[in-house]
Amino acid sequence: MNGDTRLPVAVLISGTGSNLKALLEASAAGAAYRVVTVLSNRPEAGGLAHAAAAGVPATVIDHRRHPDRESFDRALLEALAPHAPQLVVLAGFMRVLTPLFVRRWAGRLLNIHPSLLPAWRGLDTHRRVLAAGERRHGASVHFVTEGLDEGPVIVQAEVPVEDGDDEARLAARVHTVEHRIYPLAVDWFGRGWLRQDGDRVWFRGRILDRPLRYPDDEAAWHAP
C-alpha cells in the first residue's frame, strides 16, 4: 500500500484462514497494522482466497518439499525478507517452528491458541476439554518462544462449555472470540503498546501481572 505507514505484518496460515480474514477486516477498518504478505505451508489452504480477495501477495511453501524442519524454516525466512514485515503472526499455522526461526523473530512473533493457557497446550484442545468435563474454555494470544505454547500470554477470552456441546459447537464458540482478540493484540503491537520482556509482557508502559481479559479489561485499552 503506497503511503501506508502502519505496521507491516506477515501472516502464516495452514487452513481456512478465519483468523486471517478477521485480521484483514480489522486492518481495512483502520487498525494500526497492514498485512503485507501471507505464507502458507499448504497449497490447498482456504485462507489463500482471503489474501487474494484483499489484494495481499501470498506464497505457498509446501513443507512436504523440504527434507527437514530447518530447511523449511529457512525457506520461510527467505520468502518473508522482500516484504520487510515488522511482526509475524501465526494464524492457524500448523507447523512447529525451529529455534532458527523463533530466535530471528523473537519479540515480534505472535500466535493464537484455542485454550486458556497454560491449560491445554498442544493439539485437539476442544476434544480434550470436553473429555475432561471442563466447564470453561477459550482462546489466548501469546508471544511465541521456543517452548510449544509456552510464551507469555497477552490477552485471553473465555467461553462456557455448554451441555450438549460437541467439538464443532465448542470450536465455533472459541473461533468467535479468537476473531475479536487477535486483531486487538496485533493492533496494540502496531500502536507500540506491546513488548515482550523474557517471560513477561509490557502493555502500555507497565508489566502485566496477568493476561488481559476480553471483554472484562476493555478499560485498559480504551483509556487515553
What is the number of alpha carbons within 13 Å of residue 175 lying toward its C-beta? Answer: 15
113 is catalytic: yes
Helix (H) or strand (E) holding 34: strand 33-40
CA–CA distance, 21 with 179 (Å, rounded to integer): 9
- If you average pLDDT over every residue of the chain, what do you get? 97
Euclidean distance between the first and the last CA atom of the chain, given in angstroms as a whole number: 29
Q: Which three cell numbers stand for residue 215?
A: 471483554
pTM: 0.97
Whether 115 and 121 have beta carbons less than 8 Å apart is answered as: yes
Average pLDDT in the 197-220 region?
97
Task: Read off φ and ψ for residue 125, nearest 5 degrees.
Answer: -65, -40
pLDDT over 70, % of the chain: 99
CA–CA distance, 171 with 127 (Å, rounded to integer): 9
Decide which of 3.40.50.170, 1.10.10.10, 3.40.50.620, 3.40.50.2300 is the CATH code for 7-125+136-158+175-222: 3.40.50.170
Selected catalytic residue, list 50, 63, 113, 142: 113
CA 150 to centroid of chain Cα atoms: 14
Q: What is the pLDDT of residue 1?
A: 46
Q: What are the residue ranges spanned by the domains of the chain? A: 7-125+136-158+175-222
Q: Provide the angle, in degrees to the nearest 10, between the axes of the packed helices 167-190 and 18-28.
A: 40
Task: Read off φ and ψ for residue 32, nearest 5 degrees.
Answer: -85, 35
pLDDT range class, residue 144, cuts 50, 70, 90: very high
